[in-house]
Structure formats: structure tokens, C-alpha cells
Structure 1
Amino acid sequence: MNKANRRGFFKKTGLSLLSLMAIPKVISQPFQKLLDLISKTNTGVYFTNGFKIAEVSKESAMLWTRLCGQEFPQPVRHQRQEKVFRHPIDFDEEQPVAEMDGAVSGSPGLVRAKVLTKSGRSVYNSSWQAADAAEDFTVKIPIKGLQPNTAYQVEWEAKPAANGAIRKESGSFTTPPYDTQPAPVFFTTSTCQYFWSFDDERRGFQTYDSMRRLQPDFFIHTGDYIYYDKPGPLAKNLEKARHKWHAMDGWLSLRDFYREVPVYMVKDDHDLLKDDMYRGKGPYGDLTFDDGLKLWYENVPIEGKPYRTLRWGRDLQVWLVEGREYRSENTREDGPEKTIWGEEQKEWFQESVEASDATFKILFTATPVVGPDRENKTDNHANESFRHEGEWLRNFLSSQPNMYVVNGDRHWQYVSQDKETGLMEFGSGPVSDFHSQGWKEGDVRPEHRFLRLKGGFLSIRVARQNGKPEILFEHRDVLGEVVHEERFVG
């Protein structure tokens, strides 16, 4: 069926492409058959999982996409439980993965990317890259030779074969300014998102649309981007694990957000394998720790070490650290040798922080450093199980002027200040209110300056007011409304 005939078909059946994107939670069997028919008539390759512009520095960036064989994800058919996480009701874990809610098939093909200045001058043209099944039809394209403080356009092209019809997508980003340049910067961060915790039936997550409307310079995701070990399905083999990424990246709110906002991603336990994961804990179904690493690097646009630092002008530098690949067993007795980061990363971190002359410094970590956290947890620096390294880290961070911690993993929003060192930590909270749990309402500890048992995100703004650098932390709800703020002068 060609495009013109398909348009006539939609008109006769009273359907439109937009209405297909707004399919209700539960659909009838005849309507499902109609959707299956439409899916079979689709040909070519699609950007149904969108694309990401990532790891943007003054001179480089990393592009990522996945070629898909269907124009729309499989619709959400299951109703959800009316409790935390909103697990699906009567979900058949053994059904074909291609039929699962949110499923997006991959497709072999060729893809390339062009990078242009806003004036249309071409600065980079990649060759055609093959998307194949071995990498789940994902493609990464490193971009070099960019200029600082410059706005760019990205133009994607994809085709199913050497002579196939070309499909196009476009996006935009801006590189950081020179380290010596005082320049305002505004960015956002959030954590913990489970496909079934969506709060917009058509678009996925309100938080992503709210962040996009604020037009941040970049976004940092601090882990648990997906959950292998939550139902719908439980991802105990490679096919189901890959499905988790397809379903998440198929949400329209994420696709539209990443067109305009560069991302830097940090992994945590659930998007590596399972809860409180460390090497040696054991497999999750058929998946090993190394399988989890392969899947992560397949879906996340990053190259080189998983720990890195980003400088944005004169007044801001951030550090993104790795907390799963190098850690000791959580169950090991605590002592000076027990570590979450590993000695190489600790040495890099200390040296690079001490060498920085940025006005404000922020550590981004998937897990808490200050807390408070629950007494039964054993996998982060706020827990007794890693007390030695936690004390070293809090003492070091608090000795650095204008240095703060932003963490993921916790399913509530908070600001806390360590009683011993004065170090301040900001927990962004989960992407959705449906994902909020793990702390008791009203349980305000002495460390807390702010506590909210809801989801949303954290925005951070650095700018100069009357020549003085300031940093503003704003906790926001899923609609983007500010619920708490902390402001500091450098």
C-alpha cells in the first residue's frame, strides 16, 4: 500500500496518524487486528526510537539512533494496578516480545548524519553506517571538529538498502563556551523511570515535556533509565532486555525532548541488571553482568571511560561518576579497601576536582553520598556498609569551595546537609509521581532542608548577577512548577 493509498485508507476508517499515537490503554480485538494490518503494510525504516545527541563538549559530540521496522510502537493494551509503579494487570510474560506493549521492531539499513551551523554551513558529514542485528540496529556516530559556544543542526538520513527511499529527521544542540568565558547555563536532571509508571497515556512522561518547554542547555540522567527486574516484562533474556530500551525510547515525550536537548547518562543497578547490582552477585535469568554492560553501551551514546567531567564556561564544572563497574561486593565487611568507585576513579576524581578553577562544582552520582537513606540499604555512600569511603568522600567534597552533590536512585525529592561536614546534596526524585515510594511522609530528619514524596525533576541555573556568580537549584514537579529552591553566591 503506497502513501497515498494509506492516507485514503485512514480517511475511510476514520483514523489519522495522530489518532494512532493516542491509542487508549486497552484496545478491542478488532481494533488490534486493524493495527496489525496497518503495521504489515508499513515498509522502509523509521526513527521510531528517536535519536540522542550526547556527550557534547566544546569540540565533539556523540550521536546515537536505532533503525526501526515499524512507524509506531505497539500500543499500550494493559490496564495497571492502582498502587506504586503501576505494574500491568494480567501481563503474559511469555507472549511474543514483538506483541508486547511498547514493542518496536528493529530493521537493517543504512544511516548517516550531517552537522551544520545555524547558517547552513556543513561542518561534518558521516559516511553511511550499517545498522545490523548484532547491535540491535543501533548506530553511534562520533562527531569531531566542532567549535565552542556554537549552535548546530543535526540532520539524519536513513534508508533500508543502497537504493531505498530516504527517511529524514533533524535536531539541534549548542556546544559549551570556553572555560574562561563567564556564560549563563541552565540544565535539568532526573532519575528512575519505569515504562509502566507513565503519567501521560499518549506521550509517556509529563516530566520530559515540562523540561523541554524550559529549553535547557543539556540534561543529565542519573540512572535507572529502565528496569529489567520489574514486570511487563521481567527482562531475563536478551530479547526482553532490549525490548525495555525500545519501549522507553518509543515514548513521544522522550523522542521530542532528545531532538532539542543533549544528554549525559549515568547507569545504576536496574539498567545494568537488577537491584543493588555488583559484579559477582549472580545473573538475572539468562543475563550476566557482562551482558548488562553490553546492553548499556549498545543503547547509551558514550565512548571511553564511564566516568568523565564536563566544563561549561567559567563558572560551572560537573563530574559524572561510575558506581557499578568497579565496586566491591555490597555484602563485604566495611573497611579502607571496600569501594564503590575503585582506586583509579577515585584518583582521577580527586586530581581533576583539585585542578579545576570553575566557580561552582557539582558531583553527579547515581546513588546518595549524604542521604539520609533507609537503614536496610547497603549499596551507597550514605549507608553504613560503605562508611569508610563515604566519610572520605564527604570530607573531600566539603573541603572544596562551592561544591555540591546531585544524586539519583532515591524515589523522593529532597535537599539535605551533612551534619558533620556541611556538604549539601540534592535528590532530584523520580520522573513520575507513580514511581515515588521508599520514604515515610512526614519523616523529616535533622539533615533535611526539603523533603517531598513526589516525582519531577531538578533544574540548575548558573549565571552572574551584578558581576557575581550565582547558582540556583530548583526542585520542580512533573508539570515544571517550582516546589523548592536553594540559591548560593560563589
Structure 2
Amino acid sequence: MRLLLTLLLFGITGGYAQQNSEVYFTTGFKIGEVTDSSAVLLTRLCKSPEPVAVYHEQQDKVFHPPKDFDDSMPISKMEGAVAGSAGQVQIRLISKDTTITTDWEDVSAYKDFTFKRSFNGLDPHTQYTVQIKGRKHKEAPVATIQGKFTTAPLANEAVPLLFTASTCQYYWSHDDPKRGFKIYDSMLRLNPLFHCQTGDYVYYDKPGPMATTVELARHKWHAMNSWPSLADFYRNTPAYLQKDDHDLLKDDANPYSTSFGDLSYEDGLAIWREQVPIIDQPYRTFRWGKDLQIWNVEVREFRSDNKSPDGKEKTIWGEEQIAWFKQTLEASDATFKILVSPTPVVGPDRSKGKFDNHSNESFATEGKWLRAYLAKQNVFVINGDRHWQYVSVDPKTGLREFSQGPVSSYHAQGWDPKDKRPEHKFLRVDGGFLAVKVYREKTEAVIEFIHYDVEGNVVNTEVIKEKV
């Protein structure tokens, strides 16, 4: 009996060793940057099969922050906590014609136990099953997770498609106590070919905890990704992710921002690159067949100081990104062109205390140029960052902008729903998402911008047609 107690105390019984050798995919995996021939996959090995469950009560006010949350408690005790595990990962992509299998590769604490891999030479317009395996070591039990994605069609193929877009999600604004956020299950029922997440994926500067260290910032990603609705959605829907201020550092973050506690701007950049399936430049463009091309722009890394005087030198995009955007946009022959921006271009935005985006007076010079240029090039804008849904038409240029709204009704705020202005074709201060459909009817190409509420009910539709 004494020997058995000793073995149990030091954790060297056979059963304990078996349990201690397991790994899990508790935070799921993401498929990113899909083109007609490539994709990037990202996953993370975890120690436990479930995150720490919610036990704090939410406050009954905007955002529903937790009551009496203690930032000084161990991260392992915080809701959504999922510790990482060292181990090995193998990825397999399977189509009807081919199978691509990677070697087993190590993951460690150096990159928060994440594993990122780019795949090239894929077939266009082809569905791939994704199988990811993980293990602690060669002799340990193997964990498996599975999903799927479809590569983009070639640029000369007119293929019908549907994609979704969302923004602004805070862990404590969850509206489903078991699944996390209702919109992810609502979007998954539409079976989108891809998803655009336009930033504020997490909120470092909101309580529960305040992410004032690298460890706390990483925890915010673990907690968000461990919600079942997100894990199910992203393993079946490739995504193009963009960052905004709250998942970089703090409100209105830019390269001139001071640290948030011990978390620096440089820390925020490094964590972003570690936690999302992106390898190259943060600004990029993707072609989805003959009728659609999208541009994902970067609005934090290259901007001027928000509070500097406006003028022709003041910029959000930066000289290099603007040159790239003009060159790629003017070279495109896609029927429909969409700019996906983490921040508004048209607005209108609140006038008081806002100096962060192209619809604000603080960036009026670049904003005026950008709206005129986009309208001339017949571009539509999908924007994040605003906590209400709208369709706006710029009165001077005719540029159309579509704001998705936040991921839950708890997060909706910032605009008076009675303040519907002439530029608003649609206004709704509530949670939801946007879906975009592209298809052909005889001699016309059609694009539909459809706003949904969190339950998946249509609340507005805008239809535009082009002769082809």
C-alpha cells in the first residue's frame, strides 16, 4: 500500500503516465490565405480537452464584462484557459485525386505551442479534407481533428460563391453559454466558401482579464478559439484575418502607442503573427474566379500618429501599401471588386472623440482621396470596427460601404438607432454579420450584400447587377 501511494504521489503509475502523455486540439485549427493553388494552416497543441468553464457572472451592461474579476489570479484559473503542450504535429490534405502528408514536426513553448504550415501546388476549385494529428512523442497516443476547405477557382472561371464577414468580438460578450457566439453557427449553416474577419478578434484592453502581459494576451486568443462555435466554424471555413487596434495593443493603437502595462506594440505584432494563419505581408489580394477579387488592407502598422495634424503626408495605409493597392486594383479584370477594411472609409462615424479612421476629420485628406479613387474604380467597401450594421452611400462619390456589426447584441452600441442620415440606406444598431453572394443570371453578373442578425435571419439585402 505504501509503495502504491508513493507511485501515485510522484505520478509514475502506468495509468497516470498514459493520461499525462495525451495532447488535444482544444483551440481547433484555422485555414487561411486560400488561393487557387495554396493555403496556410495553423493549429496548437493543448494539455486539456476542455477550457476552464465560465464561472464569473456577467454585468448587465454594454459588452457584459465579468463581475469581480481578479487579474492577478493564475491564468490557469481564468475562464477559457487552455494550457499548451509540447509535442509533434502532422498535417494531411486529401482531395479526390491527391494526398499530401507532412512529416511529424515539433512544437514548443517558443511559439506558444502553435504550428503553422504553408501548402502550395494545390488544385484549383477543389475540396480538400484536412486531417491534423498530434502527439506528445513518438510512442504517445495520437489525437486527431478534421475539417475541410475548397480552393478558389481560376480567374477565368465564372463560379457562384458565398462568403461571410464579421468583426468585433469580446469573450465576455458571448451570447450562448455553451457554444460562445450564435453568429458562428448561423454563418456555418450558410456553408460559406470563405470568411473575412476584419479585426478586434480579441480585446486586450477589456476586463476578464486586461491583457497587460504577453502571457495574458496569448490567453485571450486561447479563450476565444476554445469556444465550440468558433472551433467548428474555422475548421470548415477558410478565413482571411485582419487585425485592428484591440487585438494589437489597445484602443486606437498605432506604431507610436505607449505600452499597455508590460505589453508593448512590438509584443502585440509578434503575438498576432504567431496566432493567425498568415505568413507574408498583412496586406494582400485574393481572386475568386472571374467575377470577384477582394483586397485585405492593413490599417495599424503603417499609419501616422493619429493625433498629428491632418495633411497630404498623414496616412493610415502608408506609401508602400497605397502603391501596391493601386497597381493590383488597376490590373484587375474582376467583375466585382471589394475592399475589406478593418476601419470605415465612408461612415458616418461618431464625431466626438473619434480620430482613428478615414471617415474622421483627423484623416480627412487621405479619406477624401480614397473615397474618390475607390468610387472611380467601382469598388465596394466592407468595413469592421463599428458596433452597428449599416449600408452607407457617400453623398459626394457614390461609394458604397457595408458595416457588418458586432458578433453579439451585447456588443452593439455607439450610434443612436434613430439617427438615420441621408447617406444611410440601412441602419441597425444590433449584432449580426454580413454575407456576400456572387452569381450569374444570363447576361448579368449579380452581387448581393446580405445583413443577418445573430440567429441567421435576413435583415437587409442590397443587390447590384453588371452586364457581362
TM-score, with length taken from structure 2: 0.95
User: What residue number does 1:55 align with?
Assistant: 33
Q: 2:380 matched to which residue of 1?
A: 404
Query: Which of 367, 381, 403 is equivalent to 1:390?
Result: 367
Q: Given the alignment, which residue of 52, 68, 87 partners 1:74?
A: 52
Q: After the TM superposition, which residues 25-44 of structure 1 pair with which residues of structure 2 at under 5 Å, given as runs? A: 43-44=21-22
* C-alpha distance in structure 1 between counterparts of 2:103 and 2:367, whole Å: 47
Partner of residue 428 from structure 1, selected from 404, 409, 428: 404
- Per the alignment, in what secondary structure is the counterpart of residue 81 of structure 1? coil
CA distance in 2, matches of 1:390, 1:42: 56
Report the alpha carbon displacement of residue 259 of structure 1 after superposing the two structures with TM. Answer: 1.7
Q: In structure 2, the residue corresponding to 1:85 is in which secondary structure?
A: coil
- What is the letter of the counterpart of residue 281 of structure 1? S
- Offset of residue 165 of structure 1: 1.2
Instruction: Please tell me whether the aligned partners of residues 114 and 122 of structure 1 are also in contact (alpha carbons under 8 angstroms).
Output: no
Distance in 2 between residues matched to 1:306 and 1:186, nearest whole Å: 23
- Summarize the alignment of residues 281-430 of structure 1 with structure 2, pairs less than 5 Å apart: 281-375=257-351, 376-401=353-378, 403-430=379-406
Q: Which amino acid aligns with 2:172?
A: W
1:5-63 deviations in Å (ceiling 9; x for gaps): xxxxxxxxxxxxxxxxxxxxxxxxxxxxxxxxx9x966510000000111111111000
Task: Measure, in 2, the Cα distance between the counterparts of 1:464 and 1:123.
Answer: 33
Instruction: Give 1:157-168 correspondences, 5 Å limit.
Output: 157-168=133-144
1:104 to 70, 82, 86: 82
1:122 positional shift = 3.7
Which residues of 2 match residues 232-243 of structure 1 at below 5 A?
A: 232-243=208-219
1:42·1:71 contact (CA, 8 Å) conserved in 2? no
Deviates more, 1:463-472 or 1:362-371: 463-472
Q: In 1, distance between residues paired with 2:117 and 2:408?
A: 31
CA distance in structure 1 between the aligned counterparts of 2:360 and 2:99, rounded to whole angstroms: 48
For 2:114, the aligned partner's letter is: T
Tell me the equivalent position of 1:95: 73
Contact 1:190 1:408 in 2 (8 A): yes
Distance 1:435 1:480 in 2: 17
Q: Is the 8 A contact 1:227 1:271 kept in 2?
A: yes
8 A contact 2:295–2:339 mirrored in 1? yes
Q: TM-score, normalised by structure 1?
A: 0.90
Q: Which residue of 1 aligns with 2:12?
A: none
- Residue 191 (structure 1) aligned with residue 133 (structure 2): no
| Letter in structure 2 aligned against 1:48 | T
Among 412, 417, 435, the alignment partner of 1:441 is 417
Q: Which amino acid aligns with 1:113?
A: I
Note the 1:252-291 alignment, pairs <5 A.
252-291=228-267
Task: Note if contact 2:21-2:141 (Cα within 8 Å) is conserved in structure 1.
Answer: no
- Listed as ranges, the gaps of 5+ residues in structure 2 are 1-15
Q: Does 1:251 align with 2:212?
A: no
8 Å CA contact retained: 1:310, 1:318:
yes
CA drift of 1:441 comes to 2.2
- Give the conservation status (yes or no) of the 8 Å contact 2:21–2:140: no
Task: Sort the Cα spacing of 1:162 and 1:42 in 2 relative to 1 into closer, same or farther, 3 A.
Answer: closer
SS in 2 for 1:385: helix
- Find the aligned partners of 2:20 and 2:141 in 1 and give their Cα distance: 13
SS across alignment from 1:80: coil
In structure 1, give the amino acid aligned to 2:72.
E
**2:153 paired with 1:182:** no
8 A contact 1:222–1:366 mirrored in 2: yes
- In the alignment, the residues of structure 2 paired with residue 97 and residue 323 of structure 1 have an alpha-carbon distance, to the nearest angstrom, of 31
Residue number among 114, 118, 126 corresponding to 2:92 in the alignment: 114
Equivalent AA in structure 2 for residue 211 of structure 1: M
**Alignment partner of 2:447 out of 443, 467, 471:** 471
Number of aligned positions between the proteins: 449
CA displacement at 1:129 relative to structure 2 = 1.8
Question: Could you tell me which of 116, 121, 131 is aligned with 1:155?
Answer: 131
Counterpart-to-counterpart distance in 2, 1:73 and 1:249: 10
In 2, the alpha carbon distance for the partners of 1:425 and 1:190 equals 14
Encode CA deviations 1:109-155: one digit per residue, 9 max, x unaligned: 000101110x3x44321111211001100010111110111111111
C-alpha RMSD of matched pairs (Å)? 1.2
What SS class does the counterpart of residue 62 from structure 1 fall into? strand
Letter matched to residue 400 of structure 1: Q
Cα distance, 1:377–1:262 mapped onto 2, change above 3 Å: same
Structure 2 distance, partners of 1:183, 1:405, is 22
| Alignment check: 8 A CA contact 1:229 1:275 kept | yes
Q: C-alpha separation between the residues in 2 aligned to 1:487 and 1:42?
A: 55
- Following TM superposition, by how much is the alpha carbon of 1:183 offset from its aligned partner in structure 2, in angstroms? 0.6
